[in-house]
Amino acid sequence: MAARTIYFGRFISAPKPDELLIQTGAVLVSSRDGRGVIEKVDWTVNGPNDALSKFGIEAPVVTAHDNGFFFPGFIDTHIHASQYPNAGIFGKSTLLDWLTTYTFPLESSFGNVKSPMYKNASETPNPLARAKAAYSRVVSRTLAHGTTTASYYATIHVEATNLLADIAFDKGQRAYIGRVCMDRPEMCPDYYRDESTEESITNTKASIEYCKSLDPSGELLAHIVTPRFAPSCLPETLTQLATLAKEEDLRIQTHISENLNEVKLVKELFPDRESYTDVYNHHGLLTPRTILAHAVHISREEMQVIKQRKAKVSHCPASNSALGSGFCPVRVMLDEGIDVGLGTDVSGGYSTSILDAVRNACMVSRHVGFLNGGDSRFNLGITEALWLGTVGGAKVVGLEGRLGGFEQGMLWDVQEVVLGEVKKDGEGDDTDVDIFGWEDWENRVAKWVWNGDDRNVRRVWVGGRMVHERK
Ligand code: GUN
Ligand code: FE
């Protein structure tokens, strides 16, 4: 027997870049085998009892707060779970020195007692304890921000990567788990790399098998094949990872054209290739299931190739600003018909919040507009940015039509947002979003986008299971 739950209240979503859909009514969610799917919707329902009678069943009714709404769960299409302890720690660095100064030392400490992070440390090295602390926290934190799906990078270590899979699966987040592949000796530190192509493939296979043992269906949890980026991988490894992803029917994730020095490095390392995009294309890594993070410095020709291959782009605006990487031409990519979602890119990005990525996507787009002669056509509005964080993300992870809205057949991956209420005496709630009561719902959503945070996320569900409740 399927378990059924009715959700009643206000439902807001961004089904199209220019459509903020605000509805009230009820949704009937039917859960079978832990998979909660919207069975029916009724936008004429005007109360919990009305819901029961209109659906003609007995079921628990979950009611959204009067001063709030159900909103599709956010999709983080690019986040390094292993880098969460470094969120906010980047100084004035840019990508390549940031990797060697901050990132490789931290990541290596999840599996290597000789990591530079353990030098002079008072603690006895305990890689798995570190991994556990970081991974438990980052999954809880992203859930608290309303992220129901995340595409994670872990580290090169199989044991710690499997631990991330355990934790995400246990806490109930929809998660793709990437064991990071990096084995090009001159580009990776000795203390942090796979020894050979063979080791990259063998260890990736071990992580694939582990993810399959947790969720054979791959619907809630799956491995994602993760060559870190072109410079860090031997060409043979890139080719074999592409073959493996195809054989196993898995997603692929990597970085592309984030930083100008990185683009230059790729030209030097792959002199026979026309462009950064051509490197991935040549090695068979551009597929409809490939997530390319950043894509800041790509030409129109490269966009054409990405479009033809139906590969997806993860836009990481906070990271691109923090590391001074550049201005991602989101409008141009959307106009070219490329599917784009949002990523936090922790810890290139400082925040685990996709709502923060929504804001930053709006901000950066205005700079892009300014650089293009002050043309507001480049500006992303908040509805469009929310659409990128939900529907766009669904396309990027290959779940278009299953995530990002409140239509029949969609998965119940949802956050309940509650805003602050200003009383007559001027007292308010513990949130940055003060609602005076006279704002219409469109303006309330705008206030949420610009000043909201995890205090506004009251409950979160993934596949019908409640995975977070704010105490
Ligand atoms: N390029 C290669 N590795 C990384 C990483 O960890 N973060 C970011 N932002 N870019 C990368
Ligand atoms: Fe990244």
Going by pLDDT thresholds of 50, 70 and 90, the confidence category of residue 302 is very high
Please determine, for residue 61, whether its predicted confidence score (pLDDT) is greater than 70: yes
Q: What number of other Cβ atoms are within 10 A of residue 291's Cβ?
A: 28
Q: How far apart are CA 249 and CA 252, in angstroms?
A: 10
Residues at Cβ < 5 Å from ligand 2 ion: 345
Beta-carbon contacts of residue 334 (< 8 Å; ≥ 6 apart): 17, 340
Alpha-carbon separation of residue 232 from 62, 99, 251, 265, 271 (angstroms): 49, 11, 19, 11, 15
Q: How far apart are CA 164 and CA 77, in angstroms?
A: 16
* Residue 322 burial class via C-beta count within 10 angstroms: exposed 0-12, middle 13-18, buried 19 and up: buried
Q: Does domain 4-73+405-469 have CATH number 3.40.630.10?
A: no
**Domain chopping of the chain, boundaries:** 4-73+405-469, 74-396
Share the mean pLDDT of the chain. Answer: 97
74-396: what CATH class?
A: alpha beta
pLDDT per residue over 12-58, tens digit each?
A: 999 999 999 999 999 999 998 778 999 999 999 999 999 999 999 99
What average pLDDT does the segment 307-322 reach? 98
pLDDT per residue over 125-171, tens digit each?
A: 999 999 999 999 999 999 999 999 999 999 999 999 999 999 999 99
- Name the token pair of 376: 């507001």
Identify which ligand lies nearest to the alpha carbon of 86. Answer: 1
Q: Give the pLDDT confidence score for residue 113 in this predicted structure.
A: 95
Going by pLDDT thresholds of 50, 70 and 90, the confidence category of residue 1 is low
322 vs 34, residue with greater confidence = 322
Q: Give the pLDDT confidence score for residue 77 in this predicted structure.
A: 99
pLDDT per residue over 402-457, tens digit each?
A: 999 999 999 999 999 999 999 999 999 999 999 999 999 999 999 999 999 999 99
Per cent of the chain over pLDDT 70 is 100
202 C-alpha to ligand 1 centroid (Å): 23
pTM higher than 0.95, yes or no? yes
Mutate to test the pocket of ligand 1, among 255, 347, 351 (most ligand atoms within 8 A of CB): 255
Q: Give the pLDDT confidence score for residue 121 in this predicted structure.
A: 79
Q: How far apart are CA 98 and CA 91, in angstroms?
A: 9
- Name the token pair of 220: 């809630």
405 C-alpha to ligand 2 centroid (Å): 27
**What are the phi and psi torsion angles at 372 (to 5°)?**
-105, 40
CB of 229 closer than 6 angstroms to any ligand 1 atom: yes
CB of 360 closer than 6 angstroms to any ligand 1 atom: no
